[in-house]
Structure 1
Amino acid sequence: MTTPDHQSPASQPPVPATQDRIYRSPMALAGGVMLLLVVGWLGFDALFQGHGRTPWLALAGMILVVPLVIAFTLRPAVFAGEDRLRIRNPFRVIGLPWGEVASLRSSYSNEVVAKSGRKYQLWSIPVSLRARKKAEARKSKAAAEAARGGGGASRGLGGLGALGGVGGSAAASGPTRADTDQVMDELRDTLERRREAESAQGEVTVRWAYEVIAPAVAGAVLFAILLATG
């Protein structure tokens, strides 16, 4: 009787690496696309329909403005992996192994504090004081309903109440934490879970985004020359 051959570890398929969680601001993305459409419409209209120095001014303005719009709206993102946190801000990319992160703070802005004391703002996770106030109001309402013995939240689970079809339930009124605060809670959980891991140790790296800075500076210089020689 024969027995089936066992695969050696080398012949087994590799375990796929855990993908980074990516956090971006939907409002910033939408605003960036709208701004780029407006700049493109006005810029190309002046470029092809303008006379005299107007096309050159339009070209210089587009070279200056487009990279800045991309830098502050489409570019910012936070990549949270199992070993490190990568922050892509408008003009810099910061890589922080979880072992080098001291804390994650939330006040008027969300930021990460390295063990060296350096602070790095999370541009793609902006703080919304309005969303916080709404979440606190929902939390207070849910607490008041619970104190009165209301069971609306439990009735809403799995039914129309969870979709807003039945009024009066805490579940239908929305979350009791602002979206960005929930994101920061997720990052703190990852920090607590991975900060002592051997693969999450290393040095903090900072890289300037010259692909954004260089064209913006070139556009500014060209624009200044055109104005000075006008």
Structure 2
Amino acid sequence: MTTPDHKPPASQPPVPTVKDRIYRSPMGLVGGVLLLAVVAWLGLDALFRGHGRTPWLALAAMIMIFPLVIAFTLRPAVFTNDDRLRIRNPFRVISLPWGEIETLRSSFTNEVLAKSGTKYQLWAVPVSLRARKKAEQRAANAARRSASGSSATGAGSLGFGALTARGADTGPTRASSDKVMDDLRETLDRRGKEESAQGETTVRWAYELAVPAVVGAVLLAILLATNG
């Protein structure tokens, strides 16, 4: 009697991991790179060409300034996926499941309000009042052109109003930071009640940046205090 061959079950294909969506400030990145270049140029020049205590002061200043520039310009970012919102601020990383977020607010800063009542600022999504005002002005102009185009077309003017609207400025009618907040609110509304989006809020401090900055500041203070 022959027994049928039992083939091992085919392994399931790996579930593709969805990459986080990342929001950062382009101007912050550019400004950070420029600041680091200037500090490195001045600091290294003083370190290798300075005399007396100048090289030590330059070294202490660079130890203090480099982590601060990185923390406030290059580091801030916001990461989102279907389960949680992760905020990387200058000296903290806050991970909030969508179910723990009460609301996202925008005024002079963009911030997250957790259900516990704690507020977290989004350093990576700074508010530009100038950009917001320009976007609001474009939206108002677009609304006026649309109204004038409709009335002109209805009056039989060979579509002159519609032609004017098509040839007008087509810049964004929402500031970039407001668009980011719209995306975050949409994800919160869509995922806030999902089971996989529940959990606890976690906060981790960025000691890798805070400690060097403090060490540099202490060293610089000691050198200045003992000068002379």
Q: 2:190 pairs with 193, 200, 208, which one? A: 193
In the other structure, the counterpart of 1:70 is 70
Counterpart for residue 159 of structure 1 = none
> Is the 2:146–2:165 contact (alpha carbons within 8 Å) kept by the matching residues of 1?
no
Show CA shifts across 1:97-129 (max 9, x none).
Answer: 000000000000000000011000000000011
Q: Relative to structure 2, which stretch is displaced further, 19-28 or 170-179? A: 170-179
What RMSD, in angstroms, separates the aligned Cα atoms of the two structures? 1.9
Query: Is residue 83 of structure 2 the alignment partner of residue 83 of structure 1?
Result: yes
Contact 1:141 1:170 survives alignment (8 Å): no
Compared CA separation, residues 90 and 55, structure 1 to 2 (3 A): same
* C-alpha distance after superposition, 1:38-66 (max 9, x if no partner): 00000000000111100000000000000
State how 1:150-169 maps to structure 2 within 5 Å: 168-169=165-166
> Which residue in the other structure is 1:107 paired with?
107
- Give me the TM-score of the superposition, normalised by structure 1: 0.87
Note the C-alpha offset of 1:171.
7.4
The CA deviation at 1:169 is: 2.9
Residue of structure 1 in register with 2:220 after alignment = 223
Residues 25 and 125 in structure 2, CA contact (< 8 A), matched pair in contact too? yes
SS in 2 for 1:148: helix
Structure 1 position 94 matched with structure 2 position 91: no
**SS at structure 1 position matched to 2:73:** helix
Question: Larger C-alpha radius of gyration, 1 or 2?
Answer: 2
Is 1:95–1:205's contact at 8 Å kept on the other side of the alignment? yes
Report deviation, 1:76.
0.3
Report the CA distance between 1:149 and its aligned residue.
Answer: 2.2
The answer to whether the 8 Å contact 1:132/1:178 transfers is: yes
**Alignment partner, residue 125 of structure 1:** 125
Q: 1:81, CA displacement in angstroms? A: 1.1
SS in 1 for 2:112: strand
Question: Could you list the per-position Cα deviations for residues 127-157 of structure 1 after superposition, in whole angstroms to 9, with x for gaps in the alignment?
Answer: 0111111111111111011111259xxxxxx
Mapped partners of 1:21, 1:145: distance in 2: 35
Taking every aligned residue pair, what percent have the same amino acid on both sides? 70
Aligned partner of 2:4 in structure 1 is none
Over 3 Å counting, the alpha-carbon distance change for 1:90 and 1:132 in structure 2 is: same
Distance change (3 Å), C-alpha of 1:89 and 1:170 = farther
How many residues align? The count is 210
Query: Residue in 2 aligned with 1:161?
Result: none
Question: Please, what TM-score do these two structures have when normalized by structure 2?
Answer: 0.88
Secondary structure (helix, strand or coil) at the match of 2:149 reads coil
Contact 1:64 1:217 in 2 (8 A): yes
Structure 1 unaligned regions, length at least 5 = 1-5, 152-165
Give the 3-state SS of the residue equivalent to 1:93 in structure 2.
strand
Q: Does the 8 Å CA contact 1:138/1:170 hold for their aligned counterparts?
A: no
